[in-house]
Every structure is written in structure tokens, then in C-alpha cells.
Chains A and B, each alone.
Chain A
Amino acid sequence: MDKGAFEQFIKLQHEPLRRFLLNLCAGNQAMADDIAQEAFIKCWLNIGAFEGRAKISTWLFKIAYNCFYDYVKQEQKHRLESIGNYEFCLKDVEKEDKTEVSQALYQALSKLKYQERVVSLLFYMEDKSLKEIAAISKTPVNTVKSHLRRAKLQLKKYLEETGYEKR
């Protein structure tokens, strides 16, 4: 893949990738964009190692997922907070940046565990298949199904509580 083709690939993939990271970072745009840039650069530097076993977009998401994980792990060392704590991302976000719609989503996602959040974002928001999610998160398909089932139950419960179901 030459540089021109890669730039076309960036134009096609930046939106889903940045949306996934933005939701994973609880709306922290700066953090999400930093991780997305890092993921694209890593993807470009290792493009020769891409074996074509999965879609290139799946491979990009996998890199981004690893970058996010590394970022959070690094943050964890400084802030002594767990990766499961979704609120840590919210600390750096200016409240006026978030719309009411986003707030509802982040509130709902905060009810989920880290893996459940990743799986539900990829499945519902980015329309990834179970097989693709398994490849991105490096977990077996059955585990992905379990995470998804638990996430769905939690989200359903949250939506019932907030009255979304009746709308």
C-alpha cells in the first residue's frame, strides 16, 4: 500500500475509529484523537506485516484497542485508577463539549464493565460482527457473546429506569 492509498484509507476509516475511541474515552475528544493518530501511525509503520487474514479495518481497530489499553494502563500508574473506571476519562473533558445525547450514552456506558463496553460499542455502534469483535479484543467468540448478553441486560435495565423504553 502506498502513501496515497493509505491516506484514502484514513479518510474512510477515521470516522468509525474516532467515534469508537471517543465513546470509549467517555467523550474526551483530545484523548480519543491522540489514540486514533497513534493507531494510524502504528498501522502505517507495520503495514508490511499485515497478512490479510482479517479485514484491514479490523486490524486497525485491534491496534487502536491496544493503544487505548496501553494508554489507560499508563494513566493507571499515575492516577492509581482501574481500567474499569469509566469516569477517569471524564475528568479532563470540558462539560460544554458534550451534548445531551452524548451524556445519555456515557451514562449508559458507565453502567457496564470495560469489556462489555468495548463489545457493545463495536457491535451496536460500529456494526462489527462477532468474529471481528473477537479478533479486535483477542477473546473467543463465545466470550464476546457472553459480554454482549450481559451488556444488553444492563443497558436494558438502565433504559427501563430512565424511561427510554416507553418513548
Chain B
Amino acid sequence: MKKDSVRDFMKAQRQKIDDDGFTAKLAARLEYYPVPQKANRKSFYIALIAPAFFLLAVLAIALLDGWDILIVHLKNNPFDGLNILWPALASLTLLLSSGLTILAINWKETY
């Protein structure tokens, strides 16, 4: 087998590193940090995707020519129980706020 001088040289220089209190010091530092939680990606994506679905629904209404009917209905009877826009807006606000909360929690945990 051909001698690989570079590999031999590098292997010969391989130092033995003693602990020298490194692990103890690190363990002590880790005590100050909370136990990290598994990143809640599922709820993160749900929080982002749900508003997108809502916007798609609004677009679908517009495309199906239901937009004018909805606006007229809203102008005439804004607090009508049949009005679907208010619950939809309320759920959108809820989803956005939950999304922002998750983002804020993730940010705080990471940084």
C-alpha cells in the first residue's frame, strides 16, 4: 500500500484534549438555560396557512359573483345573524393573533 505522508503527519499531530473542567463549567452554564421545547412547527404552519385559506375563500366568493351581494348585505344589515363576514373576520383576527403569539414564544425561546 502506498504511504500517505500527509495522513501520517496529521495523525501524528492529533492531540489528546483533557477535560480540564470544561464539561463541568459547561454544565454549570447550562443550568441557567431552560429546557428547550420541541419547535411547534405544526401549529406554526396552521397559524400561517389558515389566514391564507380565508383569503382564498374571500376570493372564491368574489369570483362567484357573490361579492356584490355580500357588500350590499353588509351595508344594509351589518349585524344580521346571517352575515358571514363578521365571524370570518373574527376568526381571522384570532388566527393572526395566535400565529403572532407562537412566533413571539419561538423568538423568546430561541433568543
Residues of A within 8 A of B (CB): 2-3, 6-7, 10-11, 14-15, 18-19, 22, 33, 36-37, 40-41, 44-49, 101-102, 104-105, 108, 120, 124-125, 152, 155-156, 159, 164-165
Q: Interface residues of A: mostly helix, strand, loop or mixed?
A: helix
**Chain B contacts for A165, CB-based, 8 A:** 5
**Given A18-B17, A40-B26, A120-B10, 12 new contacts (CB under 8 A):** A2-B35, A3-B35, A14-B26, A15-B16, A46-B110, A49-B39, A101-B15, A105-B10, A108-B9, A120-B6, A125-B13, A156-B6
State the CA gap A98–B16 with chains docked (Å). 13
State the CA gap A48–B25 with chains docked (Å). 23
Q: A2-B35, A101-B13 are in contact. Are A10 and B26 (CB under 8 A)?
A: yes
Choice from B14, B16, B17, B36 contacting A44 with Cβ under 8 Å: B36
Q: Contact: B30 with A159, CB < 8 Å?
A: no
Choice from B15, B23, B33, B36 contacting A11 with Cβ under 8 Å: B23
Residues of B within 8 A of A (CB): 5-7, 9-17, 19, 22-23, 25-27, 29-30, 33, 35-39, 109-110
9 A-B pairs with least C-beta separation: A124-B10, A105-B13, A48-B38, A48-B39, A155-B6, A15-B17, A48-B36, A18-B17, A19-B17
A-B contact count, CB below 8 Å?
Answer: 83
State the CA gap A102–B16 with chains docked (Å). 11
Q: Contact: A156 with B110, CB < 8 Å?
A: no
Q: Contact: A102 with B26, CB < 8 Å?
A: no
Q: Contact: B10 with A125, CB < 8 Å?
A: yes
State the CA gap A87–B22 with chains docked (Å). 25
